[in-house]
């Protein structure tokens, strides 16, 4: 059961990453972009995730710690974020282990899974009572897709 859940989460990460690369706005001129009000409506009444400030701005509208190399940061709602980084899988894992241990959270090691191209970590101790799930997928082009979210695990 747990393997199916992990597989499903990884599939979602890959699909989200592909959607970001395929359906990104491509408009690099922020002066001509319309202001965003929490996500854009697309045909069919669906709402796309809102893009957060670009890497280097130092301001991310998220409760989660962000590594120094962040690209395509997206707010997926309910506090969940998805982003890409040029950091290695190992470096991302070490970043979150350091940050969350420093914050006093404990890693639920029984749910830890680190493979050659994917990882999944679960942290307990947040004031909300929810676990923090951090998952990553190596996209194979020097980029790692990372998803961080609260979940009742």
Q: Which residues of the chain have pLDDT under 50?
A: 6, 18, 20, 22-42, 46-58
Do the domain assignments include residue 27? no
Domain annotation covers residue 71: yes
What's the pLDDT at 135? 97
Q: Is residue 13 one of the residues assigned to a domain?
A: yes
Name the domain count of the chain: 1
Q: Is residue 29 part of a domain?
A: no
pLDDT in tens, 64-92: 999 988 999 998 888 899 999 999 999 99
Position 5 scores a pLDDT of 54
Distance of CA 92 to the CA centre of its chain: 11
Residue 85: its pLDDT value, please?
96
Give the pLDDT confidence score for residue 42 in this predicted structure: 46
CA atoms within 13 A on the CB side of 137: 18
User: Is residue 34 one of the residues assigned to a domain?
Assistant: no
- Domain residues for the domain of 17 are 2-22+50-151
Residue 60's pLDDT is what? 60
Through-space distance between the first and last CA atoms of the chain, rounded to whole angstroms: 13
CB-based contact 6:120 (threshold 8 Å): yes
CB 120 within 8 A of CB 51: no
75 beta partners: 50, 81
For the entire predicted model, the pTM comes to 0.64
Residue 73 belongs to a domain:
yes
> Is 10 a member of any domain?
yes
In a domain, 108, yes or no: yes
pLDDT at 29: 38
CATH number at 119 reads 3.30.310
C-alpha atoms less than 13 angstroms from C-alpha of 116 in its C-beta half-sphere = 1
């Amino acid at each position: 059961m747990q393997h199916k859940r992990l597989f499903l989460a990884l599939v979602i990460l890959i699909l989200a990453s592909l959607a970001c690369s395929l359906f990104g706005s491509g408009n690099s001129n922020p002066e001509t972009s319309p202001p965003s009000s929490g996500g854009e409506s697309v045909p069919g009444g669906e709402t796309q995730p809102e893009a957060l400030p670009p890497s280097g701005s130092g301001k991310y509208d998220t409760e989660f710690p962000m590594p120094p190399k962040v690209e395509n940061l997206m707010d997926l709602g309910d506090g969940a974020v998805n982003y890409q980084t040029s950091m290695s899988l190992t470096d991302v894992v070490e970043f979150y282990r350091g940050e969350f241990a420093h914050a006093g959270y404990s890693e639920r090691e029984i749910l830890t899974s680190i493979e050659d191209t994917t990882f999944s970590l679960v942290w307990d101790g947040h004031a909300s009572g929810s676990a923090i799930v951090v998952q990553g997928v190596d996209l194979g082009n020097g980029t790692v897709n990372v998803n961080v979210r609260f979940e009742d695990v």
